[in-house]
Amino acid sequence: MTETPTVLSPTVEEPLEGLPPGFGEGLAGKAAFLIAVAFSSFQIYIAAYGSLPSQVVRAMHVGFLLLLGFGLIANLRATGIAAKAAFWTLGMLGFGTGLYNWIFYTDLIRRSGFLTTPDLIVGTLLVVLVFEAARRLMGLPLAVIAFIFLAYCFVGNHLPPPFIHRGYDFAQLVDTFAYGTEGIYGTPIYVSAAYIFIFVVFAAFLERAGMIALFNDFALGLVGSWRGGPAQVCVLSSALMGTISGSGVANVVASGQFTIPLMKRFGFRSAFAGAVEATSSMGGQIMPPVMGAVAFIMAETLNIPYAEVVKAAIIPALLYFGACFWQVHLEAGKANLHGMAKADLPDPWDAVRQHWPLVLPLAVLVYLLFAGYTPIFAGTMGLALTIVLILGAPLAALIGPSAFRVVFWLALGLAASSFMRFGVNILSLVIAALIVACITFKGGRETLRICVDSLAEGAKNALPVGIACAIVGVVIGTLTLTGIASTFIGWIISIGENNLFLSLLLTMLTCLVLGMGIPTIPNYIITSSLAGPALLSLGVPLLVSHMFVFYFGIMADLTPPVALAAFAAAPMARESGLKIGIQATKLAIAGFVVPFMAVYTPALMLQDAGPIAAQFGYPVEVAYIVVKACMGIVLWGAAAVGFLARRMAWWERLVAFAAGVLLVAALPLTDETGWALALLWIGGHCWRARQASAGDAA
């Protein structure tokens, strides 16, 4: 095996949700760093051994989030000594709420519903601190939306029907939001503590180990020479990054500094370059196997294996990125842009040969997920194997002959893989032995530093997700306690009885409007709680209805006027975020179309069979629907860009768009009409392009 020096190459940290890089200076900075390491260590231990009650784990998870979050705000954003001290105090109070739940766990269960005065004080403090942390770290809109729901609990009994509820006293509200499993410690924070955190740390270790370099080199070598090569590289590398990281806006910031200037240098317009980065980075949230944090919440909410969510997402994800590739190809043809010189590009397979060990943890992760193991087990094992790989690299480098290095890696691999038979303890022993060896031998301590840094970075990266999951628990608690969701559901059902498409359109607009102010996770949780049951009652399969909401939560970050991903790309593209958002909306056409197609033909997400399956078999139906979706993407991509074999007249774009609509409509005779119109139009367009070329040559 060839060792890779990139294993020991630290990466440059990017700003996170408004927080500057790093952990701060001096003693306070070291304290925040150690808290982050302790947070990751606590979560990894719980994931591996699970020796604490679920309620305690949730409470400590929120406690760590508050401590680290307020500590980083104090170190990185507060200016005066008094302000720094105040934020650290808030952080320690937040951590104290977690300890309170741990110490008095049994007592709290015994007096459930009959809280004491200290219980009320701690519970109230928790709610206030979560709101303040969300406001500071996630921005005002999410905190305002959650506050509106909380206020409804207090004043809803004074509202007119159908919004009136019976009213609740203060103690009952504190019990629901601060101690029950339907409030702050509800399903979202459970998923954050059990699954999401481990995968975020897993991604941090892979990035430190050099996975980003591998993805970039592979993408450059494979598609860099294609027409529009720099933009194709951006799409492919973002798709690959999506396999390990589901953070869209963070991916824009991380990879956009390299890809956007490269695209502009090769002739792409600034707005288009920024849109390619924003669109492809947001697509990482729907790219299996890891996907975004929403996928884990969805699996837990629907009580289905995570592999089922991954299975449903595979075809739509491929269509999404295929649409990006296609429109980049057309845009490059329209602007007469070429690819990069092959001589200047790395060999993609040489990059794989040099760094192939980094792919092993990801391969193990995929195998475990699809073999039926839980996400927490798969993520923990993938993380442990990554740590083994990083710790083993400097030791292998000390071994002279390559044959001995191969023997070393084989022995280490066999020892690590024995966890399948002997459990997690064997992996713990292997890691402990490697740590001792790294302390002893030359170069090992630098590797240990990389691992410790990865633990800290993973905890910091998990902050926005965790805080969002905590505050959205207030929304879920309100919906559960007051039953207001049933009012909204009844409204959707009454509309959908006459027109399902109108119900879907209303749900889509709800997602897009909510997404203007809040991230994908709370957007999905709120909208799926309201619209998911309504769509199910209208005959939409449950998983498809949740995926519908998930997709449009992502699209909200690309859709003007807010378009968070587009505005994140704006400084690097040196272009208006609004212009980038308009271009991104065109590029993400598959993200807007595929969810509607899946509702009417669920086989697109490998769900319920339709009439074609009854006659020809399920594989035939899936294949036909995929081909139809691809043709729709071809037509709409050409209509959006205004180019296929040559520049298109306005009426050609209109015909192409209409043919695409007919193919997607799923009504009687629309398929036949759409195919006929599409083939006639493509044939006629190509014939006119050939005639024009012949005329130019003459």
pLDDT score for 696: 63
Instruction: Inform me whether the pLDDT recorded for 611 exceeds 50.
Output: yes
pLDDT score for 3: 42
Instruction: Name the DSSP class of 209.
Output: H
pLDDT score for 242: 65
**Last residue of a domain, which of 420, 455, 482?**
482
- By C-alpha distance, which of 673, 540, 555, 683 is closest to 605? 540
| Mean pLDDT computed over 204-210 | 80
Q: Which residue has the higher pLDDT, 48 or 658?
A: 658
Vertex 517 angle, CA 512 and 519, to 5°? 80
- Give the least confident one: 320-324, 360-364, 622-626: 360-364
For residues 603 and 38, what is the distance between their CA atoms, to the nearest angstrom?
45
Instruction: Inform me whether the pLDDT recorded for 99 exceeds 80.
Output: yes
Instruction: Name the DSSP class of 607.
Output: -
Listed in sequence order, the residues at least 6 apart from 560 whose beta carbon sits closer than 8 Å to its beta carbon are 566, 578, 581, 582, 585
Assign 8 a pLDDT band (cuts: 50, 70, 90). Answer: very low
- Determine what percent of the chain is predicted with pLDDT higher than 90: 15
For residues 154 and 127, what is the distance between their CA atoms, to the nearest angstrom?
14
| Mean pLDDT computed over 300-308 | 84
Are 234 and 276 in contact by the 8 Å Cβ rule? The answer is yes
- Per-residue HEC secondary structure of 3-52 comes to CCHHHHCCCCCCCECCECCCCCCHHHHHHHHHHHHHHHHHHHHHHHHCCC
User: What would the two tokens of residue 77 be?
Assistant: 């954003």
pLDDT score for 64: 96
Instruction: Inform me whether the pLDDT recorded for 2 exceeds 60.
Output: no
Instruction: Inform me whether the pLDDT recorded for 295 exceeds 70.
Output: yes
Instruction: Inform me whether the pLDDT recorded for 82 exceeds 60.
Output: yes
Is 204 a member of any domain? yes
Where do we find the tokens 């602007």? 335
The winner for highest mean pLDDT among 125-134, 241-250, 439-448, 598-607 is 125-134
Give the burial class of 27: count Cβ atoms within 10 A of its Cβ; 0-12 exposed, 13-18 middle, 19 or more buried.
exposed
| Mean pLDDT computed over 499-513 | 80
Is 85 a member of any domain? yes
> Left (φ > 0), alpha (ψ -120 to 50) or beta: where does 116 sit?
beta
The winner for highest mean pLDDT among 61-65, 525-529, 628-632 is 61-65
For residues 19 and 665, what is the distance between their CA atoms, to the nearest angstrom?
45
- Determine what percent of the chain is predicted with pLDDT higher than 70: 89
User: What would the two tokens of residue 547 be?
Assistant: 């995926």
Helix (H, G, I), strand (E, B) or coil at 114: coil
| Mean pLDDT computed over 333-360 | 78
Is 346 a member of any domain? no
Instruction: Name the DSSP class of 196.
Output: I
Q: Which residue has the higher pLDDT, 523 or 686?
A: 686
pLDDT score for 405: 64
| Mean pLDDT computed over 669-697 | 84
Sign of the Cα pseudo-torsion (617, 622, 627, 629, in order): positive
Instruction: Inform me whether the pLDDT recorded for 615 exceeds 90.
Output: no
| Mean pLDDT computed over 445-469 | 87
Instruction: Inform me whether the pLDDT recorded for 17 exceeds 50.
Output: no
Assign 73 a pLDDT band (cuts: 50, 70, 90). Answer: very high
Is 282 a member of any domain? no
Assign 419 a pLDDT band (cuts: 50, 70, 90). Answer: low
Q: How many domains does the chain contain in total?
A: 2
pLDDT score for 95: 96
Are 193 and 185 in contact by the 8 Å Cβ rule? The answer is no
Instruction: Name the DSSP class of 19.
Output: B
Is 149 a member of any domain? yes
- Give the least confident one: 164-173, 252-261, 423-432: 252-261
**Last residue of a domain, which of 440, 457, 482?**
482
Q: Which residue has the higher pLDDT, 681 or 385?
A: 681
- By C-alpha distance, which of 230, 198, 234, 214 is closest to 321? 234
pLDDT score for 96: 95
pLDDT score for 14: 40
Assign 122 a pLDDT band (cuts: 50, 70, 90). Answer: very high
Listed in sequence order, the residues at least 6 apart from 637 whose beta carbon sits closer than 8 Å to its beta carbon are 323, 326, 327, 330, 589
Vertex 623 angle, CA 617 and 628, to 5°? 125
Instruction: Inform me whether the pLDDT recorded for 169 exceeds 60.
Output: yes
Range of the domain at 651: 624-697
Instruction: Inform me whether the pLDDT recorded for 608 exceeds 90.
Output: no
Is 389 a member of any domain? yes
Helix (H, G, I), strand (E, B) or coil at 16: strand
> Left (φ > 0), alpha (ψ -120 to 50) or beta: where does 287 sit?
beta
pLDDT score for 253: 67
Assign 244 a pLDDT band (cuts: 50, 70, 90). Answer: low
For 351-403, the pLDDT digits (tens) are 777 777 777 787 777 777 777 777 778 888 888 888 888 887 777 777 766 66
**Last residue of a domain, which of 482, 503, 520?**
482
User: What would the two tokens of residue 182 be?
Assistant: 């339907």
Listed in sequence order, the residues at least 6 apart from 214 whose beta carbon sits closer than 8 Å to its beta carbon are 6, 351, 352, 355, 358, 359
Instruction: Name the DSSP class of 643.
Output: B
Is 510 a member of any domain? no
Q: Which residue has the higher pLDDT, 216 or 552?
A: 552
Is 400 a member of any domain? yes
